[in-house]
Structure formats: structure tokens, C-alpha cells
Structure 1
């Protein structure tokens, strides 16, 4: 049985097709239409779909999809194996919930700290029993660069540099890179150390668009043996949710 997994964000729509746990296809789009969905249906013959969306309005292509296959909307009620203790569950981003669902499914019986690097950096912890209490949210890598440029009169807008590894800057550009990138490095190591103080075997799962960059920042740290890269963690979490929902 194949499932279509749909993650609708603020700017991009991520699509994936799974056959059980095997990822057959994934890509992201700024625009999705009925033709694209029909092409995927013809290519992979999926039987049902699960949708996670940050938007309230339902695009036409979703209406057409729902007329052809059963559609399940992801929510806390079907987050597989998660005991959600978040005090304001209605404000919890579904991507964060799907990510810890994926962590629980991929690494059962162990605790995980999920670090998702994108517009924001989110830190979400789930224990070995599937209890989720929350985490932390801070500005993402490029968000920090843009903020320095936007809120100051003289600092330029620059891009991240994976090759930058010096501890200090000797001009304005390198000083910004040092502050932003080393700042994130120390933030990452600080959060990881804090969470691992109670569980030394905690999985450190990096996901999101900046996950590879974060892995580079941490590759020489004492935490490197515990780091796992899961770029499709949210999609895998959604797929796990629909599978276990149907069992």
C-alpha cells in the first residue's frame, strides 16, 4: 500500500510517496495543481493521503484529491505513540509534532532531541516512553543574517559560509559570520549538553534545510557519535502516523 504524504508550509509544499516505510518519491513545490497530483497518482498508485498544513484555506487540488482517495488530516489525535504534555497544544506547530512522531517511530525505546533548522531553529525533546513536553524556538541561520542587516544602518546582508571556521572576525563580514555561525554552534552544543545531562544516550536528530550545515558545525564535538541526519523526518513522521492510525 502506498501513501501520499503532504506537508503544506507557509511558502512550500512538500510531497512524498511511501510504500510502507520505503520512500519512493519526494520533492517540494511553490505551486501544486491537480495535474501534478494526477501524475503522481498515475506513477505511484497511492491508496490514501495524509496532510499537514499551516494554512486554513483548502486549495482546489486538495478537494480533487479528496474525491479520489481517502484523506487524513494530521493532528495530535493521530500522532503515533506521542503523549503530548504541551500546555498550549493548539499553538504547537504540526511540523514539530510530526518530527517527534518520526523520531519515536524511527528510534523506539530511546529518547531523542530533534533539532530542526530552517527559518527558525526548533529543539524538541521526546523521552523513551514517548512523552513530549515541548522545547525551544530560536531564530534560524539566515533569519539572523537578515535581522542584522534589517535592524542596523551599516551592517551588510551576507550569506552563511560553511568554510568559515575561525573563532573571530577581522573585518565586518567575517565578524558577522563569526557572531552568527559560532553563536549557533555554541547554542547547539549548549542545548545538547543540557538535554544529555539527564540522558547520555539521547539521540541527536538533525533535520530541516540547515541540518547538513549544523552537522558540519558539530562534527568535531563530543556529541558527533550521537548525531543522526534525518532530512525527511517530518514526512516520515506523517507517514508513521497514517500507518499506525490505520492499524
Structure 2
């Protein structure tokens, strides 16, 4: 059994694999020793693999370090300094494979462009759905807080629906723009979405929630 951990800014995700088969997956509410030990099959684990964009407390590191496999993610760049890429983006790009634009809709939205030779050639980072909605509420006097939703309007009919259109349709149009630009470079490009908010756009593009796990297994 191996435990795969993906600690993002908003969610602490885990998956347990036996070989290449997923046994179970879920979320850890808070990063504590107790919550980690309550992950199914924790006592049976042979190895632990970690991708994290947050700092790991010393007590947590001490708990997992005996079985922790050091990150050795190999992602080549083509005119791109891949040493600057976060481990999560490398894993997503690896999991998607060659000729892909993988778009991760999490706290931030990341665009990860990989060519036919499986080389990382470019990307972008923009605010995620919740960050956009929270920003408009926090930085104005009277605009209300809204939550991402589906379906959503392209043009709203009141303040609430205007905000939802700005967030949801705004991200749809943003993705379309990046995709169109990427296809100028790679006409045979495939697009795949992943991340916690990808389901909002599942009628538009393929969604694969396991790209990080696939990258880890590679």
C-alpha cells in the first residue's frame, strides 16, 4: 500500500493505492497527527508520497518521514525553467501527458502546456473562482459575497447574477482564450481540467480528478 498526499492551499487530499489501483481517497479536515493516522490503511503503508504547497509542521514530518519517498519528479522544459515549477504543477503535467494543456482549477487556476515531446513549454497562473468572488466582496463597500455555481449566466440581470457571471463566465472565457492561443502552437492539443472546481466546467472540457495521483505514480 502507498499513500499519496496532495496538500493544497484549500484542501488536504489523500489517496491510497495498491500498485496502480486506487483503494480509497478523501480529504483531511486539518493537518494533525491524529487525522493522518486515521487515513484508511495507514498502518499498512509501505511508502508515502507528498506534494505540498504549504509548510509541513515538524511533528507531521516526523510522523511520515520513515516511509516518505523523496520527490524525484522529472519534467523537462523547452525554453522553460522547470526548477521554478511547483511540485503539484509538475505532477499534473506528467499525469496529463504529451500534447496537453492541463488546467487546474483550485485556489488559483494554473495552465500547464506540454508539447509532443512531453516537455513543459509554458503556463499561467490566475485567481481561482472563490478568490475572484471573495476579492470583489472584500475590496468594495457594497458588493455581496457570491459562491461559484453551475449553471451560470453569461450576462446577469441583477447584482448577484452579475457577480456570478463575472466569476464563472469570466473563467470560461479566460480558458477559451488560453486554449485558442495554445492551439496556434499545437493544433492537435488536448485539454483536460482537474482541481476542486473543475466540475463546474465538465460540460465544456474533459475532467480528470486524478492527474496529481497519475503524476505521482509515474
What residue is the counterpart of 1:23 in the other structure? 22
Q: How many residues align?
A: 218
The equivalent residue for 2:208 is 230
**Gaps in structure 1 of 5+ consecutive residues:** 105-109, 219-226, 241-247
For residues 35-184 of structure 1, the aligned pairs below 5 Å read 35-40=34-39, 42=41, 45-67=44-66, 69=67, 71-74=68-71, 78-80=72-74, 82-85=75-78, 87-104=80-97, 110-165=98-153, 167-184=154-171
Aligned residues of 1:6 and 1:16 also touching (Cα < 8 A) = yes
Match of 1:107 in 2: none
Give the TM-score taking structure 1 as reference length: 0.78
CA distance in 2, matches of 1:57, 1:174: 39
Q: TM-score scaled by structure 2? A: 0.87
2: CA distance, partners of 1:27 / 1:186:
31
Residues in 1 aligned to 2:149 and 2:31: alpha-carbon distance in whole angstroms: 32
CA contact (8 A) 2:12 2:31 kept: yes
SS at match of 2:185: coil
Counterpart-to-counterpart distance in 1, 2:217 and 2:177:
32
- Pair 94,50 (structure 1): closer, same or farther in 2 beyond 3 Å: same
Compared with structure 1, are the counterparts of its residues 37 and 17 closer, same or farther at alpha carbon in structure 2 (3 Å cutoff)? same
Alpha-carbon distance change, 24 to 140 in structure 1, aligned in 2, over 3 angstroms: same
